[in-house]
Amino acid sequence: MSAGAATWLVVAVALLAANLPFVNERLFVVGPRRAPKAFGWRLLELVVAGGLTLLLGSALEASLGQRAPQGWEFYAAWTCLMLTLASPGFVWRYLRRGASAAAHE
φ/ψ of residue 33, rounded to 5: -75, 130
Q: For residue range 28-69, list pLDDT tens digits in order.
A: 888 888 778 889 999 999 999 999 999 999 999 999 988 888
Could you tell me what percent of the chain has a pLDDT over 70? Answer: 91
Q: What is the pLDDT at residue 18?
A: 95
Q: For residue range 15-24, list pLDDT tens digits in order.
A: 999 999 998 8
Report the candidate in 32, 29, 37, 22 with the shortest Cα–Cα distance to residue 83. Answer: 22
Q: What is the pLDDT at residue 97?
A: 62
Residues 6+ apart with CB under 8 A from 47: none
Q: What is the pLDDT at residue 66?
A: 84
